[in-house]
Amino acid sequence: MSDITIYTDGSSRGNPGPGGYGTILMAGQHRKELSQGYRLTTNNRMELMAVIAGLQALKKEGMKVSVYSDSQYVVKAVEQGWLKNWIATDFKGGKKNKDLWTIFHRLSQKHQIRFIWVKGHANNPYNNRCDELATAAADGKNLLPDTGYENEKDSLLS
């Protein structure tokens, strides 16, 4: 049994393009929704950002956390050990999203986390709600810069 259940989804309008994430945290009868939009990002970054936002919202350490995501990229990176290899080799070979994976890795050390993959757009009400939050955030006004993505993109062009 988890102390906290987190549902996540990320969205981008174009890949890259404007994007957003949606996150739902649940503990007992308590529920909190989070979302944010970014002006230029990728779908994978938003999927990962949704998880990070959920973990950052936790008020204490040592929680048992179940994260439900429709992103095979995120779920497999953690559950199949890809991330451990990336960390061990300092992301050798130009693995993408090092900035976000590094943040996730630091946060993940504070909790017991398990990931569960859910099929997207398959009538899971929490996943569907996260999708609504993510797409509304991507389509919203006052989008933030995804500085990690924009800086990485700019450094490749310099």
Among 75, 14, 6, 44, CA closest to 152:
44
Identify the active-site residue in 54, 131, 146, 148: 131
Identify the active-site residue in 9, 20, 22, 146: 9
The yes-or-no answer on residue 154 being catalytic is no
Identify the active-site residue in 19, 20, 22, 47: 47
Task: List % helix, strand, coil for the chain (3-state, nearest 5).
Answer: 40, 30, 30
Residues 6 or more apart from 96 whose CB is under 8 A from it?
44, 152
The yes-or-no answer on residue 131 being catalytic is yes
Q: What is the CA radius of gyration of the chain?
A: 15
The yes-or-no answer on residue 9 being catalytic is yes
Identify the active-site residue in 10, 19, 20, 148: 10
The yes-or-no answer on residue 121 being catalytic is yes
Active site residues per annotation: 9-10, 47, 70, 121, 131
